[in-house]
Structures are given as C-alpha cells and as structure tokens.
Amino acid sequence: MSEILTSTFVLAVNDLEASKRFYLEKLGFAEDFSVDGWAFLSRGACKLRLAHCPDAMPMSENPDHSWFAYLHVRDAAGLYEGSC
C-alpha cells in the first residue's frame, strides 16, 4: 500500500493576514507562497491553504459538524505551550 506523504487542508478564514500570522508566528509554519486571496503554508508533512473568505461563518456558529481534520504530533502539549 502507498505511503501517505502529506496532508493538505483548505481553510476559509475571515482575516487572511491575521490567520497567516498565527500559523507562522505561533505554530511554526512556513509560507511557501501567496497569491491574491490565498496563502500556502507548510510545516513538515502538513500543508495548509488559507483562503480569504470574509463572509465565511465561523466554525463556532456552524451547525454542520460532519467533517473533521486531525493532525498527529509527537508533543501536543509542547506545541500548545509554544503557541501561548
């Protein structure tokens, strides 16, 4: 069976610049490149595509919870501590 080499998650964000700063400065992602309305980030095998969607409903207000994404890390507590 083939090995999964990476995962890519597409996230709609209300504020692209603030979201990009959070992933870069707090969670240690790197910016691979950007185009108008999009930021392509990565950290290890995890890839994120942040899409500027100012009218997107925040997940805390979204009644549809039929999808999830999980990132498996070696030291979740350390990652969390580094983001505070």
Q: Is the pLDDT of residue 1 over 50?
A: no
- Pick from 61, 47, 36, 42: which is nearest to 10 by CA? 47
Within a domain: 41? yes
pLDDT band at 24 (very low <50, low <70, confident <90, very high): very high
Residue type, 16: L
State the average pLDDT over residues 43-49.
Answer: 91
Within a domain: 2? no
Check which CATH number belongs to the domain holding 30 and give it: 3.10.180.10
- For 23, how many CA atoms within 13 A lie in the half-sphere containing its CB? 22
Domain carrying residue 48: 7-83
**pLDDT 10s digits, 52-77:** 999 988 777 877 766 666 666 777 78
Count how many domains the chain has: 1
Within a domain: 1? no
The count of other CB atoms within 10 Å of the CB of residue 16 is 17
